[in-house]
Amino acid sequence: ARSIVDGFVAAGRSMAEDYAVAREFLTPELSQQWRGDTSTLIYEAVNVVNGADTNQYTIQLEIIGAVDAQGVRTVYPDHSTRAVDVVVSKIEDQWRISDAPNGVMLEASTFNKIFSAQTLYFYNATFRYLVPDVRWFPTGSGTATSMVQALLAGPAPYLENAVVSAFSSAGSLVRSAVPVRDGTATIDLSRATFQDATDQQLEATLIPLNNVTNVKMLQNENEITLADQSTTIEPALVNPSTPDTLIGIADKSLVYVKGRSIIPVGGLPEISRYNPREPAMSPIGNRYAFLNGSRKQLWTIGEDGALDLGLEGESLIQPSMDLAGWTWTA
């Protein structure tokens, strides 16, 4: 009976035909219900022990991470453990697993061979930038399908309040597959998906795949050009370039650093008395920030050159300034 449990764990590495090998270790009833694609536990060590009840076994795992059905990866601290309980039953004189949770377990090196990181893209709130959302999917013919399904499901939990999608959360694939033929990925979406849709979000997500050079979108099997949808979304920037000028401090004053040149920043108030350190400057316009020598004060300099005490605290980290005009520290 225990060898059946060992075999079930090992069978998780074969995803062919919807985990057909793993299903051979299950009773016919459980085989119909069990799903292997809902989660993947990534382990470094595994041990199967007798459970609390007869015919029950516990799979003890030392795990380093997990991937959910949408490809969101969670990394666990060193020496984290997880116990997975399974029940076995005899079917026609052969042991089979009659109760087990959904999902599979993969040894770390096997996971790295089967899964790869892929990048989904969502918009920032102003639709000016495409923000990367890294997910993990099995490599193979179904990667494009998994990526589109995850994109339609929305951003990862840690990005939910920071990004938006051009696709309605009510949207879905008409066919549960995204075929790729001759470099063209064909995506058939329901009518509800096209609320504010733009093909740029899908193209940025899929074209980095080795076998995709073009994205064709259908609406209920009819080809559609989103330019006809009267969308107001301008093309967004992906990995925008950054200026080559840095901000620094020399002789207790703010300076620009470009290559090997150091240029004093003109028109600023005298700040040497604060013993400035950890400077920052805005991406657009002329705004600056710095910490005082004890890292207890954050000072800002506005477009008008006015010096203001922005924040007081303990052991403040180097500030940063964003496009929206906010200055950040912690």
How much is the pLDDT for 211? 86
- The vertex-294 CA angle with 290 and 295, nearest 5°, equals 45
How far is the CA of 186 from the CAs of 163, 177, 182, 226, in angstroms?
25, 9, 11, 14
Measured from the Cβ of residue 153, the count of other Cβ atoms closer than 10 Å reads: 18
Considering the chain, what is the average pLDDT of its residues?
91
Top pLDDT among 196 and 32 is at 32
How much is the pLDDT for 306? 95
pLDDT digits (tens, 9 = 90+) for 14-30: 999 999 999 999 999 99
Q: Is the pLDDT of residue 6 over 60?
A: yes
Paired sense of beta strands 307-312 and 320-321, if any: unpaired
Classified as helix, coil or strand, 308 is: strand
Paired sense of beta strands 104-107 and 39-50, if any: parallel
Cβ atoms of 160 and 154 within 8 Å: the answer is: yes
Q: Is the pLDDT of residue 231 over 80?
A: no
How much is the pLDDT for 194? 60
How much is the pLDDT for 324? 84
Average pLDDT over residues 31-55: 94
pLDDT digits (tens, 9 = 90+) for 244-279: 899 999 999 999 999 999 999 999 999 999 999 999
- Does the global pTM surpass 0.85? no
How much is the pLDDT for 226? 57
N-to-C CA span, the chain = 55
Name 56's Cβ contacts closer than 8 Å, sequence gap at least 6: 50, 85, 86, 87, 88
Lowest mean pLDDT among 202-211, 229-238, 247-256, 296-305: 229-238
Average pLDDT over residues 275-296: 96
Paired sense of beta strands 184-189 and 327-328, if any: unpaired
Average pLDDT over residues 125-139: 93
Cβ atoms of 275 and 241 within 8 Å: the answer is: no
